[in-house]
Structure 1
């Protein structure tokens, strides 16, 4: 644990089961995910109705560009200012954009330029909000409760996905995208109120000491060069995103399609993974190993095995693989999130978190395309075996580094 962690001596931490601040934080995460899923479904459906498939793809993907460009700035801003205030202001910005867009859509109808504008602005706001959110858990609970907080947060988010997606479809079918935007704005208002009045960190936030945002960014990369444990976790998280994401988003779909199993099988595979992840989060609440980082990384080695299985196993074997991937994700996400909070210097949390997110936003599209091309050249079984093996090797390397 970093020696610069804020002292917990003067703070009072009630048991998590009676901690209203923690409950409000988890509730906010669930409401946020419900709104995100409803918005995603509503935007995707609306884009498909008013433009070509290429235009719809542009609408759904263009938001990643400003997120990638602004994420590092958002991380530096989170370390320089109070993270909770940054989140509140970001939510107020989201509300303003949604209400203005709903008014425009109601008066002049939906158009491709309007959807593109909304997607771009949301990308910018998300890039400011998300790193700030990553700085709060460290300041809310004592170190021994970090895993439980991360697991509870993950469980709430997993369950929210099952609510948000059908809710978005129902709203856009009956009221159009304007209705989705209003409901999403209400969800952001609820989150802003929870952050303003209930989610109050108990520990101070050590501010960055750079003379400017640019200096803070430079120092953030310098910190990762100096701190081997933090650097290892950032590399491991980035590898997780770039290896497992393409297998699930491209490889699984191609395997189902090439095997002729139909879209229903894909839905069952995804559902099993989601339920297993929720179960893994529950296990993580009860189990606290001595070395959180090492335990979480070892769990991801089993997830790598699941990635290999997707390319070679029959239908029921892939069902088992998805259960393995989901369960290990539920356990590892909670343990590694807590390890990240406790390992990274508190004054660099926002910047370190934004670097992890940047690999997801900037490199994930490239990884998806590359993995799809690899499948075309070598076949689904070889592609899954290679990326799964590479992922396992990276986790073995990381386990050796954090276990020292």
Structure 2
């Protein structure tokens, strides 16, 4: 079914807004869940054990992500998103019930984290594949901006809501609140209408094995003139960005004596900048010369990352973080929009899975490496090296002509 000429823009489309409400509610539930998980783990075990509980979900997510992309393309993204949200809701509410009724220790928390990681491996590729089945290609950039606003809203609201739940009823109440928030997304997702795949969309063959589908998806990315270098640019950008803006910022704040409040203000500056970038794309819907703009934003953002280690005080650091957030949010949204519009909708689950594996499976490895390197060489050199790695992503975009000249559809 082709898009009608009179279709409203995404931010006025009730179908897209129902999806956005479902996605935002689910993301707020995730934020509350992780706060409840960390609180319960600290109360039930040692700090080291709590750290293991918080990290264990990354293992199944990284191992199963590529297979999750195949599942999303085979079964359809909406069905997979609804099923995975239902499983996550049931798992969280089960932990809440256990904590209400007994003191089971760490084992249900570990099991919950493993379930969440495994379900995320199919949820995240399906979420990435859903917009192309939900609205016209010309609206996909705007949808990326709307999704970014949902993520920012969840990051701002989720923490206080989780803290309120813990204050009123302990970890059990916070888990129950997280489960209810995820449950809200289910009827909204059921009401979302999907479009037929366009004729050039390549659905997975029912007679093929899952391994053949995965291999076909990886070959498709490798041979694509835009997607292959785009994946490399995303990988370099994330590798250079994740370390400094996570563990690196904590160590920098401690070194400069900014304290937890100062670090909080710096993070708030980053979040504000990223939110502004998402709002810009939501309002405009399209930016001309998307490939070039993404490259310049990555390069300018990398310079700001390097400069963050040398600013004289908290106020200047907040300003630089605001700049980083704006540029990183803009480049990330544009890269995501290019990924959405360049890939065949029938392969988007697998394409998103590869992108998600890079961002959520490989890039986090830079955090312990950054921490160890800062311990040896200090924050300045490590931030500069990270900035160079991030900037290489922009260089890749500029050097590959099809990616540099890539445009978003009108």
Task: Note whether the superposition's TM-score is higher than 0.5.
Answer: yes
Q: Tell me the residue number matched to 1:4.
A: none
Q: Tell me the residue number matched to 1:307.
A: 305
1:365 shift after superposition: 3.8
SS of match in other structure, 1:312: coil
Please tell me whether residue 111 in structure 1 is matched to residue 109 in structure 2: no
SS of match in other structure, 2:129: coil
User: Residue 195 of structure 1 is aligned with which of 175, 189, 193?
Assistant: 189
Please tell me whether residue 256 in structure 1 is matched to residue 250 in structure 2: no
Q: Tell me the residue number matched to 1:279.
A: 276
Preserved CA contact (<8 Å) 2:235 2:393 = no
Give runs of aligned pairs for residues 2-401 of structure 1, distance below 5 A: 8-9=2-3, 13-197=7-191, 199-204=192-197, 206-209=202-205, 211-287=208-284, 288-315=286-313, 316-401=315-400
- Counterpart-to-counterpart distance in 1, 2:46 and 2:11: 50
Preserved CA contact (<8 Å) 1:251 1:380 = yes
Indicate how the Cα distance of structure 1 residues 228 and 17 shifts in structure 2: closer, same or farther if over 3 A, else same: closer
Normalising by structure 2, what TM-score?
Answer: 0.92
SS of match in other structure, 1:307: helix
Task: Name stretches of at least 5 consecutive residues in structure 1 with no aligned partner.
Answer: 1-6
1:86 shift after superposition: 0.8
- When the two chains are superposed, the root-mean-square deviation of aligned CA atoms in Å is 1.8
1:9 shift after superposition: 4.9
1:215 shift after superposition: 0.8
Indicate how the Cα distance of structure 1 residues 36 and 389 shifts in structure 2: closer, same or farther if over 3 A, else same: same
Deviates more, 1:12-21 or 1:75-84: 12-21
1:327 shift after superposition: 0.9
- Counterpart-to-counterpart distance in 1, 2:6 and 2:213: 31
Preserved CA contact (<8 Å) 1:247 1:384 = yes
- Counterpart-to-counterpart distance in 1, 2:87 and 2:281: 35
Preserved CA contact (<8 Å) 2:32 2:175 = no
Deviates more, 1:51-60 or 1:347-356: 347-356
Indicate how the Cα distance of structure 1 residues 262 and 68 shifts in structure 2: closer, same or farther if over 3 A, else same: same
Query: Could you report, residue by residue, the CA deviation over 1:338-361 in whole angstroms, capped at 9, with x for unpaired residues?
Result: 111011122221111111211233
- Counterpart-to-counterpart distance in 2, 1:206 and 1:195: 24
Preserved CA contact (<8 Å) 1:30 1:160 = yes
1:165 shift after superposition: 0.5
- Counterpart-to-counterpart distance in 2, 1:107 and 1:398: 55
1:12 shift after superposition: 6.4
1:43 shift after superposition: 1.0
